[in-house]
């Protein structure tokens, strides 16, 4: 099974949406194997958003991500990166379809509730950036036979 990183951004934390978003992942059948609340340092944000570091709006991103703590999650499931990306919706909350996390809770490109890894390769790097191996827990998901067919996991 795959792992992915999800960050509930300050726009989710400050609006009291942590539980609602977590419930969506659990209701879908994804397993939370790591979770912690952290303040993001400049150095972490510069590495995490290195692809945006030279953009004129990078300071706005950093300022937004440091207004409060975030909740970092590691989720596990079959095709979890693709599943979470579909649940998250497009970056711009104004165009994200209803039923997606951003479509239901965001009307902004910047304050868009959630970060989700965009590929299995990126997820591996991002999970390692935010979690030590001893902060991730491999425990039986008792409902597994009710979530997947027996040849899917």
**Residue 37: which CATH number?**
3.30.70.141
Report pLDDT for 45.
95
Q: What is the DSSP-derived secondary structure letter of residue 72?
A: E
Report pLDDT for 56.
93
Query: Which of 96, 97, 123 has the alpha carbon at shortest distance from 112?
Result: 96
Kindly state whether residue 31 falls inside one of the protein's structural domains. yes
For 22-36, give the DSSP string: HHHHHHHT-EEEEEE
On average, the pLDDT of the chain sits at: 97
Give the chain's domain count: 1
Q: Which two tokens stand for residue 125?
A: 């790097």
Beta-carbon contacts of residue 43 (< 8 Å; ≥ 6 apart): none
Looking at 3, 77, 115, 126, which residue is catalytic? 115
- Is 115 an active-site residue? yes
Which segments of the chain have a pLDDT < 50? none
Query: Which of 137, 103, 91, 93 has the alpha carbon at shortest distance from 24?
Result: 103
Kindly state whether residue 72 falls inside one of the protein's structural domains. yes
What H or E segment, with its residue span, contains residue 103? helix 101-105
Report pLDDT for 16.
98
Report pLDDT for 126.
98
Report pLDDT for 62.
95
Kindly state whether residue 85 falls inside one of the protein's structural domains. yes
């Amino acid at each position: 099974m795959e792992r992915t990183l999800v960050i509930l951004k300050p726009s989710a934390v400050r609006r009291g949406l942590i539980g609602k978003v977590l419930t969506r992942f659990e209701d879908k059948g994804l397993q939370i194997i790591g979770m912690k609340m952290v303040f993001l340092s400049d150095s972490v944000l510069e590495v995490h958003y290195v692809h945006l570091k030279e953009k004129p709006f990078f300071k706005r991103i950093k300022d937004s991500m440091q207004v409060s703590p975030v909740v970092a999650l590691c989720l596990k499931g079959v095709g979890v990166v693709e599943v979470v990306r579909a649940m998250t919706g497009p970056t711009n909350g104004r165009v994200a379809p209803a039923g997606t996390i951003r479509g239901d809770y965001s009307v902004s490109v910047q304050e868009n509730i959630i970060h989700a890894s965009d590929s299995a390769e990126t997820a591996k790097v991002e999970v390692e950036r935010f979690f030590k191996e001893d902060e991730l827990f491999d425990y039986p998901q008792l409902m597994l036979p009710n979530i997947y067919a027996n040849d899917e996991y």
